[in-house]
Amino acid sequence: MKIKSLFTLTILFGLLMSCMTSCEESDTRPPYITVVSPQDSITIEAGKKLHIQITFFDNMELRSYKINIHPNFNGHEHAPAREEAHKRIMNQSQQTVDFEITLTSESRNDLLSGQECTRDIDIDIPADATPGNYHLIIYCTDAAGNETYYARDLTLVNPA
């Protein structure tokens, strides 16, 4: 009887250790992003390149990134404030267009791997981009599907 109990305890202990080991290996921590450039609240002229230097970190395995730039003319409030901004712009001699772009690691054939990756990316800002406030948002996803993002403010101005 003593041997049977010892055998059962050994099996239970082995199962418990196996469960604890597999639980430790699951990745629940999101990746981390360090943005070297641009600095927050940067001003850039329409028609220039925006240089982005970023490093992605993860405790296990990185997978992908996404970069999005979109207008923030009204602080993401209701449309009438944006329409007023457009009316002011249309009174200028040059017509402009709202600038928005999304780049993904998949579309650039640039998937991430390992625990640390640095990327230098240049984005052309059109010369006719509407001046004003924009958001730059950088997302990172690890191999387990955990996602994080980092946001910066940009201001586009007319060329000097």
Q: What is the pLDDT of residues 25-57, one digit of tens each?
A: 688 999 999 999 998 889 999 999 999 999 999
* Structure confidence at residue 131 (pLDDT): 93
Give the CATH number of the domain where residue 88 resides: 2.60.40.2550
* Structure confidence at residue 159 (pLDDT): 83
Q: How far apart are CA 52 and CA 118, in angstroms?
A: 10
Residue 5 has pLDDT above 80, yes or no: no
For the entire predicted model, the pTM comes to 0.73
Q: Which domain holds residue 136?
A: 28-157
Residue 148 has pLDDT above 70, yes or no: yes
Domain membership flag for residue 20: no
Domain membership flag for residue 148: yes
Domain membership flag for residue 12: no
Pairing of strands 62-71, 132-142: antiparallel
Residue 156 has pLDDT above 80, yes or no: yes
Domain membership flag for residue 122: yes
Structural tokens at position 144: 């387990």
Identify residue 84 by its one-letter amino acid code.
E
Residue 22 has pLDDT above 80, yes or no: no
Exposure b/e, 55-64, CB count within 10 A at least 16 = b: ebbbebebbb
Q: Which residues pair with 34 in a beta bridge?
A: 55
